[in-house]
Amino acid sequence: MATEPSFTHILEMFDIRKAFPGVVALDGVSFELHRGEVHVLLGENGAGKSTLMKILSGAYQKTTGRILLDGAGIEIRSPRHAQELGISTIYQEFNLVPQLSAAENIFLGREPSLLPGVIDRKSAYQSARLILRELGATFDARSPVRKLGMAQQQIVEVAKAISLNSRILIMDEPTSALTQREIQELFARIRSLKQSGVSVVYISHRLEEIFEIGDRVTVLRDGRNVGTLPIADVTKHDLIRMMVDRELTQLFPKTQAQIGEEVFRADGLNKREVLKDISFSLHRGEVLGIAGLLGSGRTELARVIFGVDKPDSGALFIKGKLQKVSSPRSAVKLGIGFLTEDRKTQGLVLGLPVKENICLPSLDRFSRLGVVRRRDEDAAAQTYVKQLRIKTAGIDQKVVFLSGGNQQKVVLSKWLCSQVDIFIFDEPTRGIDVGSKTEIYQLINGLTAAGVAIIMISSELPEVLGMSDRILVMHGGEIKGEFPASEATQEKLLHCALSTDGSSTESGSDRV
């Protein structure tokens, strides 16, 4: 059996308690970090992982408890104070200024200067370019962040933290929007940081990653410690059981629904430099998976279907009728709901309460003559909070204070409440723990059993394979192939996703 490496303590947190109004997020949690290790922090959404790390990063103040850094007691007063102590954080939700360039974001507040008040932009761009190159980035450091994709923005966040020369680096879901190649580049950088003595706290719901990069793992459940173990001494099954306190014998509990009539068809959709001759159908009770590498056009296709972007040509047929989907409002009226990959900026109004976010697309049902029936709105919100097990102090709690996974459940509730019958799920389980993933998969089963049709876009091939009835693979804005789920494998999907010859590769059936 592998033995734990010998490290010296750099950080110790003892009996940390954090209480919010109506909720105890942490209840006596202790955590220690060794110098030069990657310590994985696991737990379901709402288990307290992000809260513990926000205390360490200065974003929250602990209610009670002690923190030692290099053996000395400290009180971390603010994020800036944490950075001064050598603690940096990459949050699950990006913390970038869209209007500024990548380089300007990396050195924001720490810009090199030629003279007092005069920024040395050349030096900033050169330094940013070197860091980005080490991370395998191919975009220009001068590129505005608003023009970068999610994976590229994630790399900017990583580069920003690395530029601080931190002793402790907290990574909260750092690979959630990265390709496999970018993940390996990031892991190489983490290993280099370890060799130089940097300690990493690594939070991820992708269990397969932690066995590749982690040294030890601590599991939290319901705001308490479950245990800390060397990675070499645990299995994936052990970790799942520790996190959810129950056996999950089937990670993808797909049930076969009755596939009915066609409810949606895309015919020859084209959008310059984004989509090329996209045609496919979707049937009642079906989960149509769409796989492909980042940049393949999956999300762009979803945006066109939902009326966010307009195609240059092509047609959409909904329930047998040619329809013009000119806006998201018209899409919802036609029965289409869209769970976006970026819940923070596109799926939620963070400053509003849970109930208003859930009922927002359905206000017509909850109002008369412009007056909202609050009692009906409250009852609907309570129903979905209970059904999806949303961990919140109440339906009046602002969504911004929920964990990422619970925010995702609010987005799902919003579309369930709207009573649409065609769902587009773009990365529906990104940043969600294994227990909540299973709940969402069961929800998908319930929807298809009721005759709802689902388009599911996912970067996780096991998820696509495990929950789809039929799978389309995209590359370069085109559909490269189609597979019945029973004939699809990860190898086939990857081979198709990497295809550049424009042909359908090893397709299980002709493309619709």
Do residue 94 and residue 186 come from a single domain?
yes
Last residue of a domain, one of 215, 244, 273: 244
Summarised one tens digit per residue, pLDDT across range 128-140 is: 999 998 877 889 9
3-state SS record for 82-144: HHHCCEEEECCCCCCCCCCEHHHHHCCCCCCEEECCEECHHHHHHHHHHHHHHCCCCCCCCCE
Among 106, 114, 113, smallest CA distance to 131 is for 106
φ/ψ of 283, rounded to 5, equals: -115, 155
Is the residue at 479 inside a domain? yes
Kindly indicate the confidence band of residue 3, based on its pLDDT and cuts at 50, 70 and 90.
very low
Contact 106, 100 (CB under 8 A): no
**Residues 104 and 211 grouped into a single domain:** yes
Looking at the whole model, is its pTM more than 0.85? no
pLDDT band at 511 (very low <50, low <70, confident <90, very high): very low
CB-facing half-sphere around the CA of 14: CA atoms within 13 A:
10
Rounded mean pLDDT, 198-219: 91
Amino acid symbol at 48: G
The DSSP call for residue 347 is: I
Domains held by the chain: number: 2
Residues 199 and 135 in one domain: yes
**pLDDT bracket for residue 398 (50, 70, 90):** very high
269 domain residue, yes or no: yes
Radius of gyration of the chain (CA): 24
What pLDDT shows up at residue 245? 67
Statement to judge: residues 224 and 299 lie in one domain: no
> What's 217-234 look like in SS3?
EEEEECCEEEEEEEHHHC
What's the pLDDT score for residue 82?
Answer: 95
Could you tell me the CATH number of the domain that includes residue 130?
A: 3.40.50.300
- Asked whether residue 287 is domain-assigned, the answer is yes
Share of the chain above pLDDT 90, in %: 48
pLDDT recorded at residue 435 = 73
Q: Mean pLDDT, the chain, as a whole number?
A: 86
Span 279-299, average pLDDT: 91
| CA–CA distance, 336 with 422 (Å, rounded to integer) | 5
Same domain membership, residue 124 and residue 237: yes
Domain boundary among 244, 274, 302: 244
Determine the Cα–Cα distance for residues 184 and 204; give it in Å rounded to an integer.
15
In the block, which residue shows the tokens 């109506």? Answer: 22
166 vs 224: which has the higher pLDDT = 224
Asked if residue 284 and residue 224 are part of one domain, the reply reads no
Regarding whether 143 and 285 lie in a shared domain, the answer is no
Question: Could you tell me the residue range of the domain that residue 264 belongs to?
Answer: 260-335+422-430+453-512
Specify burial of residue 6 (Cβ count, 10 A radius: 0-12, 13-18, 19+): exposed
403: its two tokens? 């964990």
| pLDDT, tens only, 38-73 | 999 998 767 888 899 999 999 999 999 999 999 999
Please check whether residues 203 and 76 belong to one and the same domain.
yes
**SS (HEC) of 154-194:** HHHHHHHHHCCCCCEEEEECCCCCCCHHHHHHHHHHHHHHH
Same domain, 135 and 279: no
Whether the per-residue pLDDT at 6 is higher than 60: the answer is no
Q: Are residues 47 and 176 in the same domain?
A: yes
Burial class of residue 14 (count of CB atoms within 10 Å of its CB; 0-12, 13-18, 19+) = middle
Assess whether pLDDT exceeds 70 at residue 395: yes
The torsion angle over the Cα atoms of residues 332, 336, 337 and 342, rounded to 10 degrees, is: -100
Same domain, 174 and 45: yes
Q: Is 60 exceeded by the pLDDT of residue 2?
A: no
59 within a domain of the structure (yes/no): yes
Dist CA 140 CA 145 (whole Å): 10
State how far the Cα of 53 lies from the Cα of 79, in Å rounded to an integer: 11
- Name beta bridge partners: 470: 288, 484
As a whole number of Å, the end-to-end CA separation of the chain is 52
pLDDT tens, position by position, 71-119:
999 999 999 999 999 999 887 667 899 999 999 999 998 888 888 888 8
* Residue 17 included in any domain: yes
Residue 441 lies in a domain: no
Of the residues 244, 277, 311, the one at which a domain ends: 244
Mean pLDDT of 150-178: 83
Residue 370 lies in a domain: no
CA–CA separation, 199 and 314 (whole Å): 52
State the sign of the Cα–Cα–Cα–Cα dihedral 232, 234, 237, 241: negative
Nearest-10 crossing angle of helices 434-449, 404-418: 10
Nearest residue to 167 via CA among 82, 86, 56: 86
Task: Let me know if residue 349 belongs to a domain.
Answer: no
Q: Which DSSP category does 398 fall into?
A: B
| Mean pLDDT, rounded, for 17-26 | 85
Res 106: pLDDT: 94
Query: 290 and 239, same structural domain?
Result: no
